[in-house]
């Protein structure tokens, strides 16, 4: 789900794949796939390993995937496998907190996203008057798209996943030119790692061991650091229940 540095993601996958083969898993692909239809990808009964968002996991994927756990991230705003979104606005805006953006337009990346949509909605819900806080929402399709809407003055505030934000600062700082942070959303469980519901229990256990091994191997420290990954926790699906809806 984090694609600011595709080469680093592929290198990390190669390391995980090697750890999976060492656990005796067969047919592990050498190259990572980047599916354009994520919903079809997550529903694929042959799905080996993927990363999804907490919102679709809770709302429609619980019957078709098994949760393996989640990575711990070191990006600012993360705490273990928990994360949050940062609220961004243009530098020239006089507002200093989310309350100052009542009646303005919000950029949301996707209606199925926790970090880019529902986390922001939850934040402003107690501030709503007559059921509304923002004047409207503009769907951007991605965190990058939401940042573009801010820069182009087609929206006034956006919630950006803190891991994505750290990666943009490192690899694409131009995306953040003229923007600043005014606050953050509540902490929530980060992006779950999943496999198909049809994956045998023995393979699930082997994948968890492989993920833990790759996430603690000192020889892979540089690969993990490139993606802000600090470890793996085999947390259950129930961790996300009630947090991403």
Tens of pLDDT, residues 83-105: 999 999 999 999 999 999 999 99
Distances, alpha carbon 81 to alpha carbons 40, 148, 189, 191, 233, in Å: 26, 28, 6, 8, 7
* Gap between the Cα atoms of 224 and 215, Å rounded: 7
Residue 244's pLDDT band (cuts 50, 70, 90)? very low
Domains of the chain: 6-79+189-239 (3.40.190.10), 85-186 (3.40.190.10)
Output the average pLDDT for the chain: 96
* Gap between the Cα atoms of 63 and 197, Å rounded: 7
* pLDDT > 80? residue 237: yes
Average pLDDT over residues 68-80: 98
Q: pLDDT for 94-153, tens place per residue?
A: 999 999 999 999 999 999 999 999 999 999 999 999 999 999 999 999 999 999 999 999
pLDDT at 242: 64
pLDDT at 241: 83
Q: What does the block give as tokens for 53?
A: 């968002």
pLDDT at 207: 98
* Gap between the Cα atoms of 129 and 240, Å rounded: 29
* pLDDT > 50? residue 177: yes
- What percent of the chain stands above pLDDT 70? 98
């Amino acid at each position: 789900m984090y694609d600011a540095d595709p080469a680093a993601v592929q290198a990390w996958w190669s390391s995980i794949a090697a750890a999976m083969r060492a656990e005796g898993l067969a047919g592990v692909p050498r190259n990572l796939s980047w599916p354009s239809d994520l919903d079809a990808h997550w529903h694929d009964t042959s799905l080996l390993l993927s990363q999804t968002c907490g919102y679709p996991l809770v709302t429609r994927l619980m019957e078709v995937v098994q949760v393996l756990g989640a990575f711990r991230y070191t990006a600012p705003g993360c705490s273990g496998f928990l994360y949050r979104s940062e609220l961004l606005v243009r530098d020239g805006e006089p507002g200093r907190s989310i309350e100052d953006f009542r009646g303005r337009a919000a950029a949301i990346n996707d209606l199925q996203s926790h970090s880019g949509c529902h986390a922001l909605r939850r934040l402003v819900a107690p501030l709503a008057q007559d059921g509304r806080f923002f004047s409207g929402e503009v769907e951007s399709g991605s965190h990058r798209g939401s940042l573009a809407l801010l820069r182009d003055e087609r929206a006034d505030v956006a919630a950006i996943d803190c891991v994505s934000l750290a990666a943009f600062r490192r690899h694409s700082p131009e995306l953040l030119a003229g923007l600043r942070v005014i606050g953050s959303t509540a902490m929530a469980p980060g992006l779950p790692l999943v496999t198909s519901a049809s994956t045998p229990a023995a393979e699930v256990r082997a994948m968890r061991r492989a993920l833990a091994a790759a996430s603690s191997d000192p020889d892979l420290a540089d690969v993990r650091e490139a993606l802000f990954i600090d470890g793996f926790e085999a947390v259950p699906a129930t961790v996300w229940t009630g947090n991403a809806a």
